[in-house]
Amino acid sequence: MAEFPDTRLRRLRELPAMRSLVRETRLSTSSFVYPLFITHGSGIKKPIEPMPGCYHISLDLLAEEIQEISDLGIPSVLLFGLPQEKDSIGSEAYDAEGIIQEAIRLIKKTAPELLVIGDVCLCEYTDHGHCGILSGTTVDNDQTLELLSKTAQAQAQAGVDMVAPSAMMDGQVRAIRKTLDISGFENTPIMGYAAKYASSFYGPFRIAADSTPQFGDRRSYQMDPSNSRMAMLEIESDIAEGADIIMVKPALAYMDVIRQARERFDLPLAAYNVSGEYSLVKAASQMGWVDEKPITLELLTAIQRAGADIIISYHAKEVAAWLKNDH
């Protein structure tokens, strides 16, 4: 490249239309997934305190919410459930009448074109709050695989479009793929939470989902935040087990991992802009310390620039509204 004064990089920054032409990354509503928290009861749309703008929603109010999401042009939702009762084996997760199964049926009736993704994990459903079943005080990997498979199968039978196992058990993608295949759901894709870190950024979600572990933490199954080579191994093994889409989670503190995954693997890559990332932006905005709209768009654009094709974010609705009005 020629140097100054022949090269003046500012030339392409002078006019808004020129800046638009040379823009490398364009956020689009079409790449967003919006997470929802579904609860039992009726008439419930209860604000989740640390996540302003997010709610626990009961089934009778879900259709209205789904209509709004669909009208905004958001292509997909990711479902989390709050069970009636928790027990040691997370029974409601794989109950045919469990909250998520009911929600799936309702959404597919209300907005058949909306892609419904089911989170497959037990932590919202177990009384001890861990992502699998316990043997003593450790989470038993292989016994948990059976229950995760049953959960994925129950969701598929209810009509889910894709399942997303997030429990970080070894072999979970393979186990679920096998179960789906033998029960006639060979065309149901799996989005593996491939590189999921043991992160403090999940704090607000655990308040929202009431899924804080009752003892210990998740470091024996979720990844150590210090590692990125290990993330590549996790992703590689999810792909080998049959994942159709891979994921890095959280997003903002793990942009290097997103970039590395993008360069190394050709499968569609999702990034989960998690609850704590959302809460930080909301809190600082409410304090008047940062300007909410531009800072949100900057962060999400950066996640895409790092290499994510799909962005799972609690900001999806507001971003969709902003992008609509800007055009």
Catalytic site positions:
196, 249
List of residues 6+ apart from 88 with CB closer than 8 A: 126, 127, 128, 133, 134
To ligand PBG, the closest distance from the beta carbon of 36 in angstroms equals 12
To ligand PBG, the closest distance from the beta carbon of 205 in angstroms equals 3
The residue count of the chain comes to: 327
Distance CA 246, CA 50 (A): 28
Q: Are strands 32-39 and 55-58 parallel, antiparallel or unpaired?
A: parallel
Distance CA 223, CA 319 (A): 30
Q: Are strands 138-139 and 134-135 parallel, antiparallel or unpaired?
A: antiparallel
Interface residues with ligand PBG (CB under 6 A) are: 119, 121, 123, 131, 166, 202, 205-206, 274-275
Q: Are strands 76-82 and 45-47 parallel, antiparallel or unpaired?
A: unpaired
Contact present, 80 and 37 (Cβ < 8 Å): yes
To ligand PBG, the closest distance from the beta carbon of 23 in angstroms equals 29
Q: Which is nearer to ligand PBG, 82 or 274 (CB)?
A: 274
Of 193, 19, 203, the closest CA to residue 120 belongs to: 193
Q: Which is nearer to ligand PBG, 74 or 123 (CB)?
A: 123
To ligand PBG, the closest distance from the beta carbon of 37 in angstroms equals 10
Q: Which is nearer to ligand PBG, 198 or 295 (CB)?
A: 198
Q: Which is nearer to ligand PBG, 189 or 250 (CB)?
A: 250
